Chains A and B, each alone.
Chain A
Amino acid sequence: DAMVIQNPRYQVTQFGKPVTLSCSQTLNHNVMYWYQQKSSQAPKLLFHYYDKDFNNEADTPDNFQSRRPNTSFCFLDIRSPGLGDAAMYLCATSRGQGLEPQHFGDGTRLSIL
């Protein structure tokens, strides 16, 4: 049974049109992460939540925001997607920080028209 669920698997949006990607987890993990992965590149951490504490990476564009309304759900909002934002977006969770394996969802592949 899937424990980290991302919806939708594929998302198409128009240049500049806001889009929201969602992630839910049944693991009751404290930490949730959002990564961006472009073709043949490493997953790149955008931000993470430790419980309700939000932590943004220094090089994450202002265009990207996140919400975590409760333990189970986390959202990635892209306010004005550009062509360069087309990528796979991966949500991951871990029980705590650091030396805890991260569990990934299947990802949402975002295309920009």
Chain B
Amino acid sequence: GQNIDQPTEMTATEGAIVQINCTYQTSGFNGLFWYQQHAGEAPTFLSYNVLDGLEEKGRFSSFLSRSKGYSYLLLKELQMKDSASYLCAVCYRNTGFQKLVFGTGTRLLVSP
């Protein structure tokens, strides 16, 4: 089976940096995605990692260590609009198909 762990909730201050961790145990791992989801809205794609290392996209960066089953999403220069849930999703191969399995998400609250 697939197992993904993320902290349930985090708080941070506007302008700060926050790191959201994700650990996973999975078979047939192909890559890891991060999505942002505001309350009552659809998830939106942020970034993905296939190989070990850091991927940077503006204020957002994501890191992957395949050997450790570990990823993090780094958000810099936090803004109030970054208050949302951040979903870690593992892409894995099963019965010939590649699928995503999502973690339950980390709810981030950014305060002034």
Q: Which residues of A contact B (CB under 8 A)?
A: 40-45, 48, 50, 55, 88, 90, 97-99, 101-107, 109
Pair A55/B45 contact, Cβ less than 8 Å: no
Instruction: Kindly state the separation between the CA atoms of A106 and B38 in the bound complex, as whole angstroms.
Output: 11
- Selected interface stretch from B52-60, B63-71, B95-103: B95-103
- State A43–B30 Cα separation when bound (angstroms): 19
Chain A, Cβ-Cβ closest to B8: A40
A98 and B30 contact, CB distance less than 8 A: yes
Taken together as a complex, chains A and B put the C-alpha atoms of A40 and B50 apart, in Å, by 27
Instruction: Identify 18 new A-B residue pairs, CB closer than 8 A, beyond the known A42-B104, A42-B105, A98-B93.
Output: A40-B104, A40-B105, A45-B99, A48-B99, A55-B97, A88-B40, A90-B43, A97-B97, A98-B30, A99-B31, A99-B48, A99-B50, A99-B91, A101-B48, A102-B45, A106-B41, A107-B42, A109-B40
**Residue B72 at the A interface, CB < 8 A?**
no
Complex Cα gap A45–B95 (Å): 15
Q: Which residue of B lies closest to A101 (CB)?
A: B45
Q: Is the CB of A101 within 8 A of B102?
A: no
Complex formed: what's the CA distance from A30 to B1 in Å? 27
Which residues of A have CB within 8 Å of B48? 99, 101
Knowing A98-B98, A99-B31, A101-B33 are in contact, say whether A42-B45 is a contact too (CB < 8 A): no
For the complex formed, measure the closest distance between the CB of B99 and the CB atoms of chain A, giving whole angstroms: 6
Chain A residues positioned under 8 Å from B105 (CB to CB)? 40, 42
Which interface residue of B50, B97, B100, B102 has the most chain A CB atoms within 10 A?
B100
CB distance A107 to B41 under 8 Å?
yes
Residue of B nearest to A4 (CB): B42
Residue-wise interface mask of B (8-44) relative to A, using a CB-CB cutoff of 8 A (1 in contact, 0 not):
0000000000000000000000110100000011111
The answer, among B31, B43, B97, for a CB contact under 8 Å with A43, is: B43
> Which A-B residue pairs are the 10 nearest by beta carbons?
A98-B98, A104-B42, A42-B102, A101-B45, A97-B98, A42-B104, A43-B102, A99-B31, A106-B42, A104-B43
Q: Which residues of A contact B102 (CB under 8 A)?
A: 42-44
